């Protein structure tokens, strides 16, 4: 088969479409014939040599895919050859075929096209596990989503609204109308406005009950300032650095909490648990149309360098898909 390899870390042109060995399904795994994968921000870091795949993961980039099951390994029950699926991957989605632990498979939701289904696994698993399972966002609460226009953000906006929350986003101004169209009640231009002042203004001084943050260190103090009493800050990205001072006094006074999580490096049984939760609690929202895949565009996998340049520029909204064949 062919896959995107990274012979030497570097810029987008470091990604090379080449012949590689076919994957075999190990015990508990299936092999998926890939219809599409999607670009995640982490793939840009992997390309630069700054985010190596975890032990045992395929060497090629690609944290999610959709496609058709081509082979089923020993001990797999409930999945059969020919079934259309999408999957959460630890790597290897940028390829014609990929071996996946069966616990990381999801059926293609009714009403979603096979290619568009590749836009869902990584964002659904990340957002559900952090916003619902960990932070327990409730009806009537306020969710602040940093990077509302990202793949993660466009999903989080819709999911927060579906849970009955008021959703506020930060994003560059050019994306605000489309984010309001997805259900955001307020959009903050983080380049021109202070998000702490804005969140306090729109919540009449209460602050955000839950913040989903992709910026990390440079936002830590301001995120704590933006939290409501009992608020939960969940950091899932470090685009603004990894080390910062935390004022425990400010946290303590608000009875607030800070958590940070990563999906890719979790143990297999935890990933399977998250995928089960997504199937039970998120898939019905997708099938009802309350939450939809937000696809900026589809590009052939052979044009992956163009796709990485686009995501690096931040000019996209939602997911950039990579189609195979
Ligand atoms: N921990 C985990 O398990 C996990 C899983 C998946 C993703 N993530 C993280 O989640 C983040 C989003 O991933 P993705 O693939 O969806 O990314 P993406 O589509 O590439 O989007 C990144 C976005 O960040 C926004 N941004 C940059 N600086 C900002 C700032 N100061 N304030 C607000 N927004 C800002 C940009 O939006 P504008 O155009 O508005 O500037 C850009 O569109 C990444 O940091 C990724 O590493 C973490």
Specify the 3-state DSSP secondary structure of 36: strand
Query: What is the best residue among 39, 41, 278, 310 to mutate for testing ligand 1's pocket, by most ligand atoms within 8 Å of CB?
Result: 41
CA-nearest residue, atom 6 of ligand 1: 126
The 10s digit of each residue's pLDDT in 183-199 is 999 999 999 999 999 99
Q: Ligand 1 centre from 41 Cα, in Å? A: 7
Q: Ligand 1 centre from 130 Cα, in Å? A: 15
What's the Rg (C-alpha) of the chain? 19
Over 90: is that where the pLDDT of 247 sits? yes
How much is the pTM? 0.98
Pairing of strands 166-170, 142-146: parallel
Here the tokens at position 278 are 């997504």
The 10s digit of each residue's pLDDT in 142-181 is 999 999 999 999 999 999 999 999 999 999 999 999 999 9
Over 90: is that where the pLDDT of 325 sits? no
CA-nearest residue, atom 23 of ligand 1: 150
Nearest partner of 199 among 182, 214, 184, judged by Cα: 184
- Residue 56: pLDDT band (50, 70, 90) is confident
> In the predicted model, what is the mean pLDDT of the chain?
97
Q: Is the CB–ligand 1 distance for residue 216 below 6 Å? A: no
Give the whole-number percent of the chain exceeding pLDDT 90. Answer: 98
């Amino acid at each position: 088969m062919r896959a995107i390899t990274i012979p030497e870390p570097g810029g987008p042109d470091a990604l090379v479409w080449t012949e590689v060995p076919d994957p075999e399904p190990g015990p508990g795994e299936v092999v998926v014939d890939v219809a599409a994968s999607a670009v995640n921000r982490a793939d840009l870091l992997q390309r630069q040599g700054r985010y190596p795949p975890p032990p045992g993961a395929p060497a090629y980039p690609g944290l999610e895919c959709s496609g058709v099951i081509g082979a089923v390994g020993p001990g797999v029950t409930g999945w059969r050859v020919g079934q259309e699926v999408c999957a959460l991957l630890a790597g290897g989605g940028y390829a014609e075929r990929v071996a996946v632990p069966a616990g990381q498979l999801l059926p293609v939701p009714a009403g979603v096209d096979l290619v568009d289904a590749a836009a869902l696994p990584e964002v659904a698993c990340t957002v559900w596990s952090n916003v619902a399972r960990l932070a327990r966002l409730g009806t009537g609460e306020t969710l602040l989503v940093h990077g509302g226009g990202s793949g993660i953000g466009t999903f989080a906006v819709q999911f927060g609204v579906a849970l009955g929350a008021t959703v506020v986003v930060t994003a560059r101004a050019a994306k605000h109308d489309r984010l309001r169209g997805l259900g955001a009640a307020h959009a903050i231009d983080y380049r021109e406005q202070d998000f702490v002042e804005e969140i306090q203004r729109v919540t009449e001084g209460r602050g955000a009950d839950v913040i989903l943050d992709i910026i990390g260190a440079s936002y830590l103090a301001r995120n704590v300032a933006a939290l409501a009493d009992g608020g939960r800050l969940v950091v899932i990205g470090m685009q603004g650095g990894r080390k910062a001072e935390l004022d425990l006094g400010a946290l303590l006074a608000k009875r607030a909490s800070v958590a940070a999580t990563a999906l890719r490096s979790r143990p297999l049984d935890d990933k399977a648990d998250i995928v089960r939760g997504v199937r039970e609690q998120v898939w019905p929202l997708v099938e009802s149309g309350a939450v939809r895949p937000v696809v900026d565009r589809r590009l052939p996998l052979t044009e992956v360098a163009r796709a990485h340049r686009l995501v690096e520029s931040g000019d996209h909204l939602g997911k950039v898909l990579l189609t195979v064949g």
